[in-house]
Chain A
Amino acid sequence: MKLTHVKVTPFWAGLVLGVGAALVQAYFNVFPPVANGFCMICHPRDFFDWIANRLVGVDWPVSLVSTIYPLMTVVGVVAGAVFAAWRNKELRFRRVNGWWKYVIYGFLSINFGLLLAGCPIRIVLLSAYGSPIGFVGWASVAVGATLMTLIVRWWQRRAVSTGGDAR
């Protein structure tokens, strides 16, 4: 069976990600902090700050594990996703309207994420590690996403009923 014909479900992707994150901490020294095997807030921050510290001579914070060599998760994710998209003929430029909104979303995401000390994936890993703060963070992410979904749905229904523009 060809690899491209294998259907990858979110369940299996999540399972591999969870086990992999535990594996890299347990046997490949991705520590400290704990439950930090995979994070798309802290690892890109470490990678970015590590490069900036060497290239520009600033003194931006990196986690202890990234002091000598940075965590390369973000490079791997981009390479893996580009490879998967190219292999499945889904690699193409797609335009979007309102690009400035996405700049703001990205700006807010990293700042909320650094306050949370992790991305939604790391918060799940931290919960699996038994951390009560992890569970609180996970619940907060779920509540935040659910509330915003309800707000957007209410806003759009209101716009439809009044004949206005939901944007």
Chain B
Amino acid sequence: MTPTHAIATLILGFVAGYLGQRSRLCFVSGYRDVVLTRDTTLLRGVLAAFGGALLGYVAFGRLGGFLPGFPMLHESIADQALPWVFAVVGGLGLGAVGMLAGGCPFRMHVLASEGRQGALFYLVGFYIGMVFFNIVLTPVFMRLGLPL
């Protein structure tokens, strides 16, 4: 197996990091700006990502790209209730905490790369939290038979 995917994600990450630093792109702050100042600049970035991805999936699918199950409109609550609950709880929490922190995880990685001390401490908590999830929460979910 060749590391194609590793190199591809490295390049995409570099481009995203560069553009994210220049544009202040954030997938949480857009909602805050709309509420506080009616400024839709950041929200347009979120919608553009949705549009770009949709366009890409449709176009690359027609050009023979590997997109299994697209469009996946067949998920139902009856089939898998827990992922829906996790999506609501996780989404509400991530949105609320992201607003308090000042950005989504992508934005916080970019801010840490610029030298913001707050974002650097955010990343400390981020990676400690990752260890916590692996050691504490994953075994609990597995013991309860919950899908993650």
Interface residues of chain A, those whose CB is within 8 Å of chain B, are 8-31, 34-35, 37-38, 40-41, 43-45, 48-49, 58, 60-61, 65, 68-85, 88, 90-96, 99-117, 119-121, 123-125, 127-133, 136-150, 152-153
- Bound-state CA distance A61–B16 (Å) is 26
- Docked complex Cα distance between A132 and B78 (Å): 13
Q: Within the complex, which residue of A12, A27, A105 is in contact with B60, where a contact is CB–CB below 8 Å?
A: A27
| A24 near B17: Cβ-Cβ < 8 Å | no
> Of B49, B69, B95, B96, which one neighbours A124 at CB under 8 angstroms?
B49
Tell me, rounded to whole Å, the shortest Cβ–Cβ distance linking A58 to chain B. 8
Complex CA distance for A165 and B31, rounded to whole angstroms: 25
Q: Which residue of A is nearest B31, CB measured?
A: A145
Q: What's the least CB distance linking B139 to chain A, in Å?
A: 11
A123 CB, min distance to chain B CBs, angstroms:
7
Within B25-42, which residues are at the interface with A (CB < 8 Å)? 25-32, 35-36, 41-42
With A and B bound together, what is the CA distance between A145 and B28 in angstroms? 6
Pull 18 A–B residue pairs with CB atoms less than 8 Å apart, ordered by A. Answer: A13-B22, A16-B15, A28-B7, A29-B66, A37-B12, A72-B9, A76-B9, A94-B117, A106-B125, A109-B122, A112-B93, A114-B130, A114-B133, A140-B89, A145-B31, A149-B32, A149-B36, A152-B99
> In the complex, which residues of chain A have a beta carbon less than 8 angstroms from the beta carbon of B121?
96, 99-100, 102-103, 106
In the bound assembly, the distance between CA atoms of A22 and B8 in angstroms comes to 12
Minimal Cβ-Cβ distance residue in A for B17? A80
User: Is B27 touching A26 in the complex (CB atoms < 8 A)?
Assistant: no
Contact B5 A24 (CB under 8 A): yes
Measuring CB to CB, which residues of chain B are less than 8 angstroms from any residue of chain A?
1, 3-32, 35-36, 41-42, 44-57, 59-61, 63, 65-73, 75-76, 83-84, 86-101, 104-106, 108-110, 112-119, 121-130, 132-134, 137-138, 148
Q: Given contacts A10-B45, A95-B117, A149-B31, is CB(A133)–CB(B84) below 8 Å?
A: yes
How distant is A16 from chain B, measured CB to nearest CB, in Å?
Answer: 6
Contact yes or no, A78 B113, CB < 8 A: yes
Set of chain A residues within 8 Å of B52, measured between Cβ atoms = 14-19, 22
Find A19's partner among B13, B56, B90, B100 (CB 8 Å cutoff). Answer: B56
Residues of B within 8 A of A24 (CB): 5, 8-9, 12
Pair B129/A110 contact, Cβ less than 8 Å: yes
A30 touching B14 in the complex, CB below 8 Å, given contacts A14-B48, A145-B95: no
Nearest CB of chain A from residue B34's CB, rounded to whole Å = 8
* Complex Cα–Cα for A137 and B13 (A): 23
